[in-house]
Structures are given as structure tokens and as C-alpha cells.
Structure 1
Amino acid sequence: MTQTTPNHTQTVSGWAAHDSSGKITPYIFKRRENGINDVTIKILYCGMCHTDIHHVRNDWGITMYPVVPGHEITGIITKVGNNVTNFKIGDKVGVGCLAASCLECEFCQSSQENYCDQIQLTYNGIFWDGSITYGGYSKMIVTDHRYVVHVPESLPMNAAAPLLCAGVTVYTPMNDGGLLVEGGGGKRIGVVGLGGLGHVAVKFGKAFGHHVSVISTSPSKENEAKNRLGADDFILSTEPNQMLAKKRSLDFILDTVSAKHSLGPILELLKVNGTLVLVGAPDKPLDLPSFPLIFGKRVVKGSMTGSMKETQEMMNMCGKHNITCDIEMVNPDQINEALQRLANNDVKYRFVIDIAGSKASNL
């Protein structure tokens, strides 16, 4: 395991954390030359995910410093390898969470490479050549073309960036649940948490004609949910009477909350045979009582990001329905402030770093 290999000859400027303080500072490093299966991308924008906080602070004990975060990347292709036929110079593209997988296991062979045992991530992963991967808090990136997607021309590159993680993370379980089918609306779905993931889930649900309820511990979110995002209902989960009134009313619930909480009261909102999908990643075990499962024949399952096929499908769907993330733009010198605000849930709903200084651009 090495930071670089002899093939890493391209000097790149970016921003990295060097220890568990999580402080981000300018960082000059090396990227590999563009290989036969690679594309080189000039990064325009990079979204800021809550996962970035966990990595820069080593909350999970797996960080390899220095770490260059960022896995919600949009940019323009500047170079393509000889084996690359589906991209060309000038294409608008996106890079999400995945950088490499084994390409041979049952999951890779069935377009579920995000569940490959050997999956490596866009940053803080180990690439095939043994080098540590660096993410999108940087000016450019070299990526294997199999882990790159096209960004539809109709989508602005800045507001599309968080779709590469937040978007596909909610798309995959909603699509698995049969909720994102044209003409298939009419389900009653709940979204727990109105943040970077939750607000996209509300948009997806409404685009396909479903009745969407936002479930939150914050009374202040009701106005945002209904008037800003078009949610049909708001359930304050700290109010027992509201929770009781909505008992057995929902077909499907997507739980995006990354803090420890009990699933019991949320499960009671589901109809018999209802499904609760977890996409948040609390650092402590959740409370899961058995009775709401047993007496409602309910299912609790998890879901992580999505495959490259699903990511491209999600991007195409967003292009068709003109769905983007609600974002707040920041400059690179505001990264530390934005990370702290993100940790405090003080953003509506996703920070995006203007890497290339392209705020005036129409891209």
C-alpha cells in the first residue's frame, strides 16, 4: 500500500486533512497518468457529504492520512484512454463513490459492483495499482471510465454534483421498492430526516406521483417540507399523538438519519407488509424492538449507494424530470467552515465546493 506509484507523475493541487483534527488545508500531490481505461476530468464542482466528516476526523478508525475527501464530483473530460469508447473530450461527467472493484464476482457481473467484497472508494481506498485514492476536493482526477457517468445536458453541473452520492443513495431503495415507475404513483411513502438525502427523496417521490410524508424531530422543518419541497404531510416524531394518528398509514419508509434513534415508533407508521429501508449510517447501533416487526409483518433492510448502472439511470431520470439538489455554494477557502456547519446540520441541503471558480459559468 503506497500513496503513489512511479506512474503518478501529474502534479495536482487540492485540499486534504492530515490528522484527526479534521482541519482541511491546501495540499499538492500526485495523480497517475491517464491509462488505457482511464479518463482525466477537470473538476468543476464537488459536493460535501457527511461521510467526508467521518473520514477527515477518523471517526470510523479507517482513515489513511493525508485524505483528500470528495465523492460527489462533476467536471469535464480532458483526456481519454485508448480503450474508452463511451466518453470523449469535452463530455460533462460525474464521479461518485466507487473507484474500483474486482470485475469478476457475482455482484460485479450482475451490475451490483457496489456490493463487491473488493470494492474500493473514490477516496481513502486502494486502487488496483496499490496507490491510495484521492477524491474530489482537488482540481482534477483520473478515473477508470467504468466508474464514470454522463451528466445530462439539461442539468446544471453544480446542483447535479450531490446526486452522485445523495441522489443514487435514495434512488436505489426507492427503485427497488417499485416507487420510481412512470404511471405507478399512488403509494404513501415516508421520509425520515430532511437533509441532503431526505430532500432528494421527497423530490423523487413527488415526481412519480406518490403521497410523501416527512418524519422529523424538528418542528421548524414542516414549512420547508410542505412549502419548499411539496411534501403532502409532516409528522413530528417527538409528538406521540401525531405518531399514533398516522399508525399503519404508510407503505414504505426511507430512513436517512445518521444519528442513533429507535426504529420502533417509525415501524408503527407502516402498514402490514410495509418496508423500512435504512440509508443513514449512525455510528451506534439502532434500537429495533421485535413487536412492531412481528405484529405488522414488516421488513427492515439497508441499502448503500448504487451500482454504476443505477447511477446512470438515476442521472437520466433526474435529467428527464429536471430534478437537482438544493445547494449552497462555497469556495475552497470555506471548506472548514462548511464542514462544521454540515456537522451541525446547518445547510439546506447540500454544500457544493466551487472547485474551478466557475460560479459565473452556465455549466
Structure 2
Amino acid sequence: MTPTKGYAAQAATEPLAPFSFERRDLRPNDVQIEILYCGVCHSDLHTARNEWHGTTYPCVPGHEIVGRVTNVGEQVNKFKKGDLVGVGCLVDSCQKCDNCKQGLEQYCEEMPTQTYNSPDRIDQSVTKGGYSNNIIVSENFVLSVSDKLPLEGVAPLLCAGITTYSPMRHWKVGPGHKVAVLGLGGLGHMAVKLAVSFGAEVTMLSTSPSKEADAKRLGAHKFALTKDPEQLKGLANYFDFIIDTVSAEHNYNMYLNLLNTDGVMICVGAPPTPAQVPAFNLIFQRRSIAGSLIGGLPETQEMLDYCAEHGITSDVEVIAMKDINTAYERMLKGDVRYRFVIDMATL
């Protein structure tokens, strides 16, 4: 067993606090990783506070992990000690269903094993995530990370990056397309950067006029204030795609009307209430509303390689581990541009 230090929530109403535990012994195909940086995702907060229900305590969040290999199992051949690597939202899957065989492990028909708060497929222990100084993961779920980019900016690519990269690749977003990004947060800022890099015309849709300067800095070609009916009227039937990153309740129909014929609204946010969409809002322009969940391991590696080649990282604020509870409160207020990342050297 490997002694491990981390931060954990002991109950839904308690702040995260120092927590010592043990990682399993290396299995033959395992990789042991010293964690250097771990991004802070909104889902970490939801899980720590049991807002999605089903949290097992103590809970060690964190699934945007970048680190260095310190040990490998006897059958590992993809990695060696000293390699820079990443771990995202998944650490295992059945690896035998049709989706897994296609590299779509995120859609594993037997449900993938998540990086934290998920039962291990072999010993049924509950997985513990990246708010810790080390992690042990099967080599099939470890990704190669380039040293071309600052590692703190790479960490959020393992969730925020792949969550927006995957649907745009699936729908083949590229030159000639008009793309709207709804919401400028951790996901939204990556959607802007990636859509621009793919050659699309990108418009930021936001309720906040203060976001316009940042949207333009990130590469957005246009900005529309969604509280202004005249601006929205001028965008009717305009977009080929809308990347909807909003996780709060909002009016889907208002945005569907901005789609051109055959336009697609791609939902990557997860609001707490169901969407209320009349069929006529889809039928008359053959519009679609769709969803997308992170990406499989091959696509996530593709995304990391693409970002390294094109110099794309997340905009981050690096924090000390002891400041995680303050970061959660700031995140709830939208006071982060655009992702908190924990420097695990501070643990």
C-alpha cells in the first residue's frame, strides 16, 4: 500500500480538510503518478456537497490531473518513470462493450469507473481523486502530456478541454461554420479557443456585458448580450452550432431560434431542471438539441496533442491546497478566470 496525503470532504456540510489514506499496491498494468497539478471542476463541488446525491465519504475530488510517473507495474509498456502524464475523468471501463472497443469509454455500457467516488471494478473500493499527492491508475487510462506547455494550464484540458473538443470534432466544426458559445466559464472559454482554432466564426452569447472584452481576448469574433432582445432578433436563424455550457436553468427555446436550418444545439452543461422544448421549435427548421460527455481515451490524447501543437491551454489561477474551500465559494460566485488549479507542492 502507498501512504497518501490529500484533502477530503467527510460529509456534505463539512469543508474539505487534510486527509491521509492508502492507495492500493501496484497491479501488473498500473502506473503510479506523483501529482503536480490538479484542476478544480464545478463537479468536484457538486460531489463533495452531495448535490448530485450518491457521494461516498470520505470523498477526495479531482479529475484534472497532471503529474510525473514514479513507478510502473511489471506488465506496463506504455510509460516509464519520469514521464509527464495526465489522468482525466475516467480510470477504468469494461473495455469489452461496443463503445469501449471504439474508444468511447465515456459511454461504457457497464458504466465507466470515475476517477473519484466510484467503485473500483476489481476490489470495489471507492476511488479517490487528484486532491492528493499521488494516484495509481491502469496504464490504459493514463495519457501522455507534452512538456511544451505550462502544466498548470494543461490540467483543466483533461475535463474542460475534452468536454468541448469532443462534440466539435464529432460534428466536424470548421471553416465556414458559425458557432455560438453560450456561457463564458471554465467550459465556455475553452469552447471559444478551440472553435476559433478550428476556423469557425465564433460568437460569445452572455448575460453579462462585462464579458465582452474577455471573449474578444480569447478569440471570439463577435459578442451578443442575451438580455438585449434586439441583438437576439438580429441573430435569428444565424448559427450552425451552439455550444451550450450553462449548468443553471435557462430558456433553451430562446437559443434554439438562433439556429439555422439543420443547426445543432450541443449541451455540455447539466442544469438541475429538465429542458422544456416544444417539438415545433425543432421541426420547422430541422434543428436538433444534443448532448455530449467528455471524450474517450483516444480522443483525449488527440486533444492533448492538438493543444500542444497549437499552444492552447486553459486560463488558470493557481492556488494552494489549503485555499480549496475559499476557491469553492469563489467558484459559486463566478469569481474565477477561468479555472482554479491546485499546485500540489503546497499540500
Under TM normalisation by the shorter chain, which class is it? over 0.9
Code of the residue aligned with 1:276 in structure 2: it is M
Provide Cα deviations, 1:202-249, integer angstroms capped at 9, x if missing partner.
0011112211001111111111111x2121111111211111101111
- Quote the offset at 1:336 in angstroms: 0.2
Q: 1:124 maps to which residue?
A: 117
The amino acid of 2:310's aligned partner reads H
Question: Given that residues 179 and 202 in structure 2 are in contact (C-alpha distance below 8 angstroms), is that contact kept between their aligned partners in structure 1?
Answer: yes
Give the secondary-structure state (helix, strand or coil) at the position aligned to 1:74.
Answer: strand
Tell me, yes or no, if structure 1 residue 136 matches structure 2 residue 136. no
Aligned to 1:60: 52
Gaps of 5+ in 1: 1-8, 359-363
Letter in 2 for 1:68: V
Judge conservation of contact 1:53–1:343 (CA < 8 Å) in 2: no
Q: Matched residue of 1:220: which SS?
A: helix
- 2:280 is aligned to 291
Matches within 5 A, 1:165-244: 165-179=159-173, 184-226=174-216, 228-244=217-233
AA paired with 2:260?
K
Please identify runs of 4+ aligned residues in structure 1 that moved more than 3 A. none
Q: Assess if the C-alpha contact under 8 Å between 2:321 and 2:346 holds in 1.
A: no
| Corresponding residue to 2:291 among 271, 280, 302 | 302
- Of stretches 202-211 and 270-279 in structure 1, the one that deviates more from structure 2 is 202-211
Q: Take 2:14 and 2:83, find their aligned partners in 1: how far apart are those partners?
A: 34
Q: Does 1:46 align with 2:46?
A: no
Matched ranges for 1:315-326 at <5 A:
315-326=304-315
Once the two structures are superposed, what CA deviation does each residue of 1:294-346 show, in whole Å capped at 9, x if it has no partner?
11110111000110011000000001100000000100110000011111111
* 1:340 counterpart SS class: helix
Q: CA deviation at 1:22?
A: 4.5
For structure 2, the residue ranges without an aligned partner over 5 or more in a row are none
**1:253–1:270 CA contact under 8 A, matched in 2:** yes
* 3-state secondary structure, aligned to 1:197: helix
Q: Does 1:78 align with 2:70?
A: yes
1:261 and 1:287 in contact (8 A); partners too: no
Matching residue's letter, 1:201 = A
2: CA distance, partners of 1:257 / 1:66: 29
Question: How does the TM-score come out when normalised to structure 2?
Answer: 0.97
Partner of 2:140: 146
Residues of 2 paired with 1:115 and 1:24: CA distance? 30
Provide the secondary structure at the position in 1 that maps to 2:335.
coil
Matching residue of 2:335: 346
Alpha-carbon contact 2:39-2:62 (below 8 Å) kept: yes
Cα offset for 1:84? 1.2
Structure 1 CA distance, aligned partners of 2:23 and 2:43?
23
CA distance in 2, matches of 1:259, 1:288: 16
Instruction: Flag the 1:304–1:22 CA change in 2: closer, same or farther, 3 A.
Output: farther
Q: CA deviation at 1:290?
A: 2.5
Q: Which residue of structure 2 aligns with residue 331 of structure 1?
A: 320
Of 250, 261, 266, which residue of structure 1 is paired with 2:250? 261
Provide the rounded CA distance (Å) in 2 between the counterparts of 1:95 and 1:330.
20
Do the aligned residues in 2 keep the contact of 1:169 with 1:197 (CA within 8 Å)? yes
Q: State the one-letter code of the partner of 1:177.
A: W
SS at match of 1:356: helix
Paired residue for 1:361? none
* Equivalent in 235, 248, 265 of residue 237 of structure 2: 248
What SS does structure 1 have at the residue aligned with 2:96? coil
Confirm or deny: 8 A CA contact 1:193 1:257 kept in the other structure.
yes
**1:256 to partner: Cα distance:** 0.3
Aligned counterparts of 2:238 and 2:39: Cα–Cα separation in 1: 35
Q: Distance in 1 between matches of 2:33 and 2:330?
A: 29
CA distance in structure 2 between the aligned counterparts of 1:70 and 1:161, rounded to whole angstroms: 10
* Letter of the structure 2 residue corresponding to residue 39 of structure 1: V
Shift of 1:291: 2.4
Residue identity in the other structure for 1:335? I
**% identical equivalent positions:** 48
Question: Aligned letter for 1:126?
Answer: P
Q: Secondary structure at the match of 2:322?
A: helix
